[in-house]
Amino acid sequence: MSRSTAPENETLSAEDAAAQSAVKNESVSAPHTPMKARVDVKHPNLTMLGLYLGAFLGMLSETAMNIALPALSKSFGIGQGTAQWMVVGYMLVIGIVLPFTSLLLKWVPSKPLLLFALAMFFIGSLISGLAPTSMFGVLLAGRMIQGISTGLALPMMFSVILEVFPLNKIGAAMGMAGLVVMFAPAIGPTLSGALIGAFSWRAIFFFFAVIAAVAFVCACIWMVNAYKLTRPKIDIISCIASILGFGGLVFGVSLISDIGFTWQVILILVIGIAAVAFYSYRQMHMANPIINLRAFGIRQFTTCALIVMMNFGITLATMYLMPQELQNGMGVAVAMTGLVMLPGGVVNALVSMLSGRLFDIVGPKWLVRGGLVLSMIGVVLLMLAGPTAPVAYIIFAHVILMIGVPMAMNPAQSSALASLPQHLSTDGSTILNTMQQVLGAVITAVATILLAAGQASSHTGGKAMAFVTGSRWGFAFALALAIVAFVISFGMAKQTKSDDASKR
């Protein structure tokens, strides 16, 4: 079923050309009513509930594992590099599955696809929760099955919002989605610490299973099929290139922190980079691409997408380093570690909801820049912390960071998706989420490398000081991401949701 590529001078498929023609001729056609959604549902928030819970689970589990890694290492008798695969293996599967979500939504009704995703998270959670301590492979297999669910649910959440909410309410809906994406990883360490402290690491997976079951029931009752199935031809070569490319990049970078720059690792990275380049070229010259990369031809989307990537990297790097530094560098108990990170998680939730509404009013530019400045301040404060730093100081630094990250993230993501015409909306969501998850695996691996390098460079102060030094190296990397994002933000166009409604 392989589809040959189109000639290089063919820049638009018939579907794309028709959609763009409709946009250009909008002035002579019936105007789109901002108060009416593309898919008419009585209660859009209930329609989204299964997706919200599914995406919440996926993002929650990304950082919930960070605080559980020391406990897992002890229970299974494995090293830090091996335990890290509970994070990286999960992201590896997400990175492989995500690029196919847009294509799957053109072949499979969105309701059954979501139900399948939630069932996978439920099954994976039970497998991991029941894994014998002598079989780390079983634990990891369950974790990777969870990744299938997250790879499907995350992009579906953002793309379905554009279908079931009217244009004048999409900003607020994106704020709720932002709350899911940003609050879940922020609250993950707190929840994980409480469950491990009260029970054991197994309780985390059983908790996941319960939430997945609730999400499944909600999706059964309220989820709708939001898209017309077009069933385009599938290009097998692109599918293989996607798996080799995104999977190879995540796998190769992750191996660096475990076995270093061996020739095998370099070969995997070269194959991954070459496959991604070939995949991208092929998508740009196909009539029916798996992901329509022409979204990158819209400057606002590209600029905001880069900011989202940098901001997501800040979140993952700091959320990966903080729990481990608190436990290993400052001697904070695992349950207390979660409590230390709780205020920041609460603040994150409040700012996530507020920033979505502010985006509808003032647009993204100043929100994004202000958020990035606060993120830089928060990261610098964390870098200055030592083994004897007061807990109140760490909480303060974390709160500042948790104001800045969602303040920048939600408007940037909303602005990126709002800049796209309707025929690119699902592709834009898939692009953003694919880039986030692939980058997430890379960020986690880089943070692990810097953590180990910083520890090796410390020759005074004992193990605790060495771990703090390693964390500082990782925080410096997060600071660099924030600075890059701040510079990129000056390329953003002025945009508000009302502006976008008039264009569409």
Residue 492, CA distances (Å) to 303, 358, 394, 418, 476 in order: 6, 17, 33, 13, 25
pLDDT (0 to 100) of residue 217: 96
pLDDT number for residue 479: 93
Phi–psi pair at 225, nearest 5 degrees: -85, 105
Q: Give the pLDDT score at 27.
A: 34
Give the total residue count for the chain: 504
In sequence order, which residues have a C-beta less than 8 Å from that of residue 335 and are 6 or more positions away? Answer: 193, 194, 196, 197, 198
pLDDT value for 156: 87
345 token code pair: 């998680």
| CA 11 to chain centroid | 30
pLDDT in tens, 63-80: 788 778 878 888 888 876
Q: What is the pLDDT of residue 503?
A: 43
* 204 contact partners, CB below 8 Å, separation of at least 6: 64, 65, 68, 129, 191, 192, 195, 196
Contact partners, residue 459, CB within 8 Å, separation at least 6: none
User: What is the model's pLDDT at position 483?
Assistant: 94
Q: Please, what are the domains in the chain?
A: 41-232+288-503 (1.20.1250.20), 241-287 (no CATH)
> Is 411 in contact with 177 (CB distance < 8 Å)?
no
Q: What is the pLDDT of residue 485?
A: 92
The identity of residue 409, as a single letter, is M
Query: pTM value?
Result: 0.70
Residue 160: CA count within 13 A, CB half-sphere: 29
pLDDT tens track, the chain, 504 positions: 333 333 333 334 444 444 344 333 333 333 344 567 677 778 888 888 999 999 888 888 877 887 788 788 888 888 766 777 787 788 788 878 877 887 888 888 989 999 999 999 999 999 999 999 888 889 999 999 999 998 888 888 877 887 888 777 776 777 777 777 767 776 777 788 888 888 888 999 999 999 999 999 999 999 988 778 888 888 889 889 988 888 888 788 777 766 677 888 889 889 999 998 998 888 888 877 877 888 888 888 889 889 988 888 888 788 778 877 887 778 777 667 777 878 887 888 788 778 767 776 677 788 889 999 999 999 999 988 878 888 889 899 999 998 998 888 878 888 888 788 867 777 787 788 777 767 776 787 788 788 877 777 766 667 778 778 888 888 999 999 999 999 999 888 765 444 444 444
- Other C-beta atoms closer than 10 Å to the C-beta of 236 total 11
Q: CB neighbours of 64 closer than 8 A, spacing ≥ 6?
A: 188, 189, 191, 192, 204
Is residue 416 within 8 Å of residue 428, measured between CB atoms? yes
